[in-house]
Structure 1
Amino acid sequence: MNEKNRPAVDTSIMPEQGVTRDGQPLSYNRAPAPDLAPWVARLYVTKVIAPADYTLSCGLFNDIAFVRVQLAGAWTAETATGHEEMGREALFFGPQSKRMPVTVTGSFISVGVGIRPGGCNALCGPRVGEFIDRLVPTGTVAMPSDRLLKMLPPDASPEDWLQTLEALVRKRVEHMDGALPDPVSSRFEEIAFADPGITVGDAAELCGVERRKLERVVNRDFGMSPKQVLRRARALDMASHLRGVADSEEGDEIALRYYDESHLIHEFTALFGMSPRQFVATPQPLMTLALESRQARRLEALKRIKPGQSRPWE
């Protein structure tokens, strides 16, 4: 990526987990323990140092539900149900259908676990379709926030925090006798990673089901239609490419998923609230952290890199 197209960086913050070759912030994120892989998509810890009075204005756009434990920072978010303000709190975020505006003031720490499509349904958790573009305290859907906070002491290491979250999920899996997500959802997730330009009919054929069944299962486990899921996946891959946290060898392939530049601008602006050019020119630290974690998960799911292996953008 040449200097002209290099994505903007917010120099007021300092991520403790380092930066990419282009200076974009990194979190500590990894795949789950193998026994939890059917239900857990990703785990992460983000620790960022910032001036106490500095407010970072950014956004999030995730294709899966997350339990996020905000250990530090004063947060706000613009959600489907209105303006939310959060401090030290454990929250359940549903998947997002578009960019969710978020701010955080001061240094912040966020620890989280992402749930694979179908995972909530298999474990008798919340119905993700009811939480699209929303967030609620974890007590609304599972363990009370204060109990979860007590389990993550401030002086513990990032890996200790993640293993605590894994233990909680493992306990739930055991309680549900290891009930697995619908294989149709698992297969459709792989398809969205590999070829989000595919038609819904062709995707149903690859899943081995009729289109009507695919639509029913995906609406239940992803919270939106298959067409919306594929459209979002295509945009998230493009956003990752623009922020320099995608495999550069895929750049041309990702761009060719759009008919032409006007199609790209229209689709991208509809989902991110800004044009691709603006997206590159504006610092996007929180968004970039989420995109980088998703791309690492995607490349691992597609067997292009192994868990723990160095990523192309590092």
Structure 2
Amino acid sequence: MQRKNTPAVDRTIAPQQGSTRDGQPLSYNRAPAGDLAPWIARLYVTKVSAPADYTLSCGLFSDTAFIRIQLAGDWVAMPPAGEVRATRGAFYFGPNTRRMPISVTGSFVSLGLALRPGAGTALGGPRVQDYVDRVVPSAAVVSPSEVYLALFDPEGSPEDWLQSLEAHWRRKIHLRGGTPPDPVSSAFEEIALRDPSTSVSEAADAIGVDRRKLERVVSRDFGMAPKQVLRRARALDMASHLRGVADSAEGEEMALRYYDESHLIHEFTDLFGMSPRQFVTTPQPILTLALESRQARRLEALKRIEPGQSRPWE
């Protein structure tokens, strides 16, 4: 179940933040400032050049809620409730249970932040379970698009933009009391990143709570049951390995989380809508960008690399 072939690359587009050794696109992504880390998981800026009439069809599969600000490109997201179109604007993307189709025409610029599980609950924000597999304008749950778009100097660097976004959220968190997420959610988040083959009962024991409490807190703060969260984390790690944006030293361990090849194929196809082989042979630039950012966050959270340190796939 190891990755045997170099994953396909879309040569029509040109990522401005560079590529991996395999030619997969990279974004500028980093951990939040330390004072924001309890609520914010990751920040990113993506700039990609493409022909004006070229439509890139791909997908997104995220394990956290995101605020995504689209500055350029004609975007179409296809959540189950129906398509969402945008050129410029800010949107709240709920966590995904499965790969969500998404496409963009022309060159595109996107930036945003991932919210940690329980951040919305702690800050009196949206109930994440109400937004699973949904995309809504940011005004529905946080600040309206106009507020976000005004934060960014068009001549600013990606780091300038992220610092402006952090400053906005620093003010927002202060105004909402600055209560951190439930420690149970934070502990379960770490387990999902470290070893998603852990059973729900084992996770409850490790955290020191009974299973019913774990299920209640996780359902509230992740938007789905603990078993689903772990299944998704296992698939996202495997997808990262298949796309070449995971630590290759973990490849065998990630594969062994599945009973056998048929188990991998069944679960992967169910969640991603294609077999592992198709996933490797089909370019997945937007999804790969998201997977790379998640893996960088994962390795930093598990203290396997330091923030800012070169990543194994670079």
Shorter-chain-normalised TM-score: which range? Answer: over 0.9
Q: Distance in 2 between matches of 1:84 and 1:169?
A: 25
Counterpart residue number, 2:94: 94
Q: Distance in 2 between matches of 1:11 and 1:37?
A: 36
Counterpart residue number, 1:220: 220
Deviation at 1:176, TM superposition (A): 2.4
Q: Distance in 1 between matches of 2:125 and 2:155?
A: 30
Q: How does 1:134-173 map to 2 (within 5 A)?
A: 134-173=134-173
Q: Is the 8 A contact 2:123 2:177 kept in 1?
A: no
Q: Is the 8 A contact 2:66 2:113 kept in 1?
A: yes
Q: Percent identity?
A: 69
Counterpart residue number, 1:40: 40
Q: Distance in 1 between matches of 2:3 and 2:173?
A: 48
Q: Secondary structure at the match of 1:5?
A: coil
Listed as ranges, the gaps of 5+ residues in structure 1 are none
Q: Is the 8 A contact 1:71 1:154 kept in 2?
A: no
After superposition, the C-alpha distances for 1:164-215 in whole angstroms (9 at most, x for unaligned) are 1111111122112320100000000000011100110000111110000000
Q: Secondary structure at the match of 1:177?
A: coil
After superposition, the C-alpha distances for 1:193-239 in whole angstroms (9 at most, x for unaligned) are 11100110000111110000000000000000000000000000000
Give the TM-score normalised by structure 1.
0.98
- Length, aligned pairs only: 313
Q: How does 1:70-219 map to 2 (within 5 A)?
A: 70-219=70-219
Label 1:262 to 1:3 Cα distance change in 2 as closer, same or farther (>3 A): closer
Counterpart residue number, 1:311: 311
Q: Distance in 1 between matches of 2:175 and 2:148?
A: 18
Q: What RMSD in Å do the two structures reach over aligned CA positions?
A: 1.1
Listed as ranges, the gaps of 5+ residues in structure 2 are none
The residue type equivalent to 2:189 in the other structure is E
Give the TM-score normalised by structure 2.
0.98
Counterpart residue number, 2:266: 266
After superposition, the C-alpha distances for 1:99-123 in whole angstroms (9 at most, x for unaligned) are 0000000000001011000111111
Deviation at 1:143, TM superposition (A): 0.9
Counterpart residue number, 2:60: 60
Counterpart residue number, 2:10: 10
Q: Distance in 2 between matches of 1:4 and 1:54?
A: 30
Which 4+ runs in 1 deviate beyond 6 A?
none
Deviation at 1:3, TM superposition (A): 10
